[in-house]
Amino acid sequence: MASRACLLAILVAVAGALRRVLLSRGEPVGTVVTTVPVSGRPAGSGPGLGNMVSPMLVAVPATGAVPDRLAQVAAQVRAHKTAATGPPPIAVLGWLFRPLAALGGYQWYMNHQHRFHTLVSHVRGPTEPVTFGGSPITSAIPVGVGPGGNVPVYFEVLSYAGTLTITAITDPVHFAGPGSLTTALCAELDLIIRHPGPAGARPAGRAAGPASHQ
């Protein structure tokens, strides 16, 4: 599965799943603004460059026909990705971010930000199974660590040896009942699998990881 096609499908599925859950709580939503970390590391660059990541904000439609939703997200990703792969803000304004973070400014911002509703982090793992200490690794589950601020749910995505795993990390206080979210996410992924989208934007299969509490 192409990385771009995979990302489009995941973003649309996540928005649709959140809409299902919120609708069941009497909170209809038409668009889910999602931030996607984008690597600023140039293709073919060597190690030692550090964590060069910039956020890409995508307004993902949560309603409408699946092909239309995929096409809208694809257009946004094409438009925004070039800007997101530039120098990350932390690299340009590190002299300002570091003292602010030390004083708690970054966490204050995350607790009060209104730019996005959720985060989707997509990492491509090895395409072939690997071993650890001589033992084969049969599967891999991504786990996010750290406070999410005022983002009550976010998603870690990892592809490994032909399997895609999605982990939903939820705030147990502000997003209770993660089981309904994973059920909704599986249903949205099934919808995408059954419907063609933009060229290269239809996934060949899916695997949703269990929800976990933070």
Q: What is the pTM of this model?
A: 0.80
Tokens of residue 88, six digits: 């990350």
Of 3, 2, 42, the C-alpha closest to 122 is: 3
Asked whether 35 and 56 are in contact (CB, 8 A), the reply is: yes
pLDDT at 199: 46
Q: Calculate the average pLDDT of the chain.
A: 81
Q: Token pair of 19, please?
A: 């809409």
Q: Cα Rg for the chain, rounded, in angstroms?
A: 18
**Nearest CA to 37 among 65, 15, 16, 7?**
7
The b/e string for 98-135 (b: 16+ C-beta within 10 A; e otherwise) is eeeeeeeeeeeeeeeeeebbbbbbbeebeeeeeeeeee
| Tokens at 39, concatenated | 């690597």
CATH entry, 3-39+51-86+116-213, from 1.25.40, 3.40.50, 3.30.70, 3.30.559: 3.30.559
- pLDDT tens, residue by residue, 71-103: 999 999 998 877 655 555 555 455 566 777 677
Question: Per this entry, what is the length of the chain?
Answer: 214
Domain-by-domain residue ranges, the chain? Answer: 3-39+51-86+116-213
Give the per-residue pLDDT at 200: 43
Share of the chain above pLDDT 90, in %: 52
Report in angstroms the alpha-carbon separations of 205 from 5, 32, 53, 85: 12, 23, 28, 28
